[in-house]
Structure 1
């Protein structure tokens, strides 16, 4: 007797590159600047209004009147303006509930340019070519975008499978559109694959307890021992980046204090940001491919509950108590930031759930100092960043330090010392009663 399939709704995003003409790019830029200005106007209004008279209705009325009175603010569609208001109020709600800090003023330089399209019915998406599709942007017109995956459009769209909206986002490589998709999919069966512990490292990107390490093949260190800031760029791109940085430094030397940045210096900065964005895109692509492969292969994936912000804190210290090995710690912090461990765990979280697997977190203390063969713990076991040597005279196990950490991570899960991460809420440490840490693996 076969059981009936269980269906569940899943929400996800899909990002595609836009192919814009100069006029279309100028129009979207104007909308993005108007959206940023609308946020700042709301922030100023909220700050100057007494607490007893603050209301969503008043802010909505003020924003509507501002669109009528200010021409450059009126280029933003009405629904996109309402989306800015809803986002601002949601930011305050997250602050009140302790999930985020207070909303702040968005500067022209540091803020990301974006425009929200809250209604999916306004997009009118159509596939016109094997590699290209067309989408309608309010007050801009029809725009081509790269078609890299099937979207629920046309006859395939219904109440359960549809595009609910989109967001235009600009980075150093141009404008992109991020579709918000709701799909009805069959709930995956429980994954019966093996268990594996993962230790995120610098020398080995993802060390697995079974020895099936995942590495991107890019050395974290240069021959002189310093951290490689641009390991995702090839030799020609690194040489170009060096020339651009030298050119930018030369042009910056002619700028007087408080003087406006020249257009030439802006162009040099734009080219540098493009190379940096290209490297980030390659790193993200490797993470997507690797995490998808791990989610398909393993049923239970165990990772450490790392506090990356504390790990990458500077060792500079203060004037009274200066730090030690500041340069080495700075290079290590840079290498950790490049590996983007938090993004890897985020990808594994939703990909394991999509494939029927489970992601478990375990406490991180002593996983790198404990011998995975005998359980002996000492701070001097790591001879180098790569080598682990057990100081127990009865053991003497030697191996890769990251592999040793991955075996310890899996062992913590097997003895029940895990941290269950619910869909919403804080992690809870759970320890199986009556089970003590074993001294042998």
Structure 2
């Protein structure tokens, strides 16, 4: 007899591109603007009321009354309006607990346009083609979306495997739907693969301790990079004619939209490369060891203050852009949940000294990297030389095998540090 498999519940999100008609785009745009306006009106109402009258019931009644009296707020579905209220109250709760700053007004151009669909039964998702599916959006109708992942719909859906809700999100490439999915899956058996250490960098994005590397080309082609440069120069010229405080012209806004579209395309390609690379690594290796990098501190500006101005500010700014462009934190996040799903584990080790230690003799000294990619041991009895990135990756794996690993990322307790002063006037 075979042993029964242990099952566990898994919650994840899936993002798909919507194929909208111009009329449907206008309808969803109106809902998104109404959702943002609802947030701003709610924030204004909440902060002006006396403290003893700020309750969820009063806020709910105010939202219902506003949707009855104001036509352009009524285009937002009732459940989406309730989702705005819940999100707003949760934002205040995070502020009271010291996890975030106070909620504020949402601006028209700097806030992400989005609409919530809280209940999955309203979506009525069906698959009509190998590459396309249909979803029902409240007050919009049936909409096609790109089918790129098997979803628990129709006869495959039950109380343990279903879509619980969604959010419509607009970016530079158009409207997308982000589905919230809950499934019941078998817990994986322990992974039988080898251990690996990974050194993350800029010139070589991922260097593995077994000598392999994971590299990528530029996210934009030469033609696309030339087009981006031309658009940025055009935007700079047109911006020079705009007076301070004057509204952005339609020409300049179209140029900004084209720039955002190219940058979004580059980001999408980068994310796709990260997903494919991390999936391959998680399937191959059982234990993955990375450095515990303080990326926020590494990307701080070097401009300094008026009294103590910084040096090499432009060079440091370029380095910061390169570090953020490689998105090391997102790579670690992807590896964390993918290794857990496949029965492996991800560990972090302290970062100091990994690039200066010789992985052959253990001798550590500054200046061992004679070039960006060359490591030369200064120990007279060793003298080993080789690739600096692979040397650092072997040191990372060595720290784990010596028992110096930190708590595994999947089980680490998150410590919240308060930001600012806890508000005392709003409750």
TM-score (norm 1): 0.91
Structure 1 residue 53: Cα displacement: 3.3
State yes or no: 1:132 paired with 2:120: no
Partner residue of 1:373 out of 360, 384, 403: 360
State yes or no: 1:87 paired with 2:74: no
- Give 1:322's aligned residue: 309
- Give 1:300's aligned residue: 287
Structure 1 residue 424: Cα displacement: 6.2
CA displacement, residues 298-323 of structure 1 (integer Å, 9 cap, x when unaligned):
00011111111100111122233222
- Give 2:425's aligned residue: none
Name the SS of the counterpart of 1:366 in structure 2. coil
- Give 1:27's aligned residue: 27
Partner residue of 1:232 out of 208, 211, 219: 219
Separation of aligned partners in 2, 1:424 and 1:304: 15
Structure 1 residue 422: Cα displacement: 4.7
Name the SS of the counterpart of 1:419 in structure 2. coil
1:368-407 paired onto structure 2 within 5 Å: 368-407=355-394
Partner residue of 1:331 out of 300, 318, 330: 318
1:73-152 paired onto structure 2 within 5 Å: 73-152=73-152
State yes or no: 1:70 paired with 2:57: no
The answer to whether the 8 Å contact 2:43/2:105 transfers is yes
Name the SS of the counterpart of 2:109 in structure 1. coil
Say how many residue pairs are matched.
Answer: 414
The answer to whether the 8 Å contact 2:114/2:168 transfers is yes
State yes or no: 1:282 paired with 2:263: no
Name the SS of the counterpart of 1:329 in structure 2. helix
Separation of aligned partners in 2, 1:373 and 1:399: 10
Structure 1 residue 325: Cα displacement: 2.3
Separation of aligned partners in 1, 2:100 and 2:380: 50
Separation of aligned partners in 2, 1:404 and 1:240: 39
Partner residue of 1:244 out of 231, 249, 259: 231
Name the SS of the counterpart of 1:418 in structure 2. coil
State yes or no: 1:56 paired with 2:44: no
Separation of aligned partners in 2, 1:163 and 1:424: 28
Separation of aligned partners in 2, 1:253 and 1:401: 46
Q: 1:246 to 1:203 in 2, by over 3 A?
A: same
- Give 2:422's aligned residue: none
Gaps of 5+ in 1: 219-230, 428-441
CA displacement, residues 164-220 of structure 1 (integer Å, 9 cap, x when unaligned):
11110000000000111111111110111111111110111011111121111x3xx
Partner residue of 2:397 out of 380, 394, 410: 410
Separation of aligned partners in 2, 1:388 and 1:363: 20
Separation of aligned partners in 1, 2:412 and 2:204: 31
Separation of aligned partners in 2, 1:126 and 1:44: 41
The answer to whether the 8 Å contact 2:195/2:287 transfers is yes
Separation of aligned partners in 2, 1:308 and 1:91: 26
Name the SS of the counterpart of 1:73 in structure 2. helix
Separation of aligned partners in 2, 1:306 and 1:92: 31
Structure 1 residue 353: Cα displacement: 0.7
Separation of aligned partners in 2, 1:53 and 1:367: 57
1:412-427 paired onto structure 2 within 5 Å: 412-420=399-407, 421-423=409-411, 425-426=413-414
Name the SS of the counterpart of 2:144 in structure 1. strand
Structural RMSD (CA)? 1.5
CA displacement, residues 314-357 of structure 1 (integer Å, 9 cap, x when unaligned):
11222332222222222211110100001101111111111111
Gaps of 5+ in 2: 416-427
Name the SS of the counterpart of 2:72 in structure 1. coil
Name the SS of the counterpart of 2:18 in structure 1. strand
Separation of aligned partners in 1, 2:59 and 2:368: 61
Q: Which has the higher contact order (CA 8 A, sep 6+)?
A: 2
- Give 1:47's aligned residue: 47
Structure 1 residue 52: Cα displacement: 3.7
The answer to whether the 8 Å contact 2:336/2:410 transfers is no
Separation of aligned partners in 2, 1:16 and 1:322: 46
State yes or no: 1:215 paired with 2:227: no
- Give 1:187's aligned residue: 187
Partner residue of 2:260 out of 273, 298, 301: 273
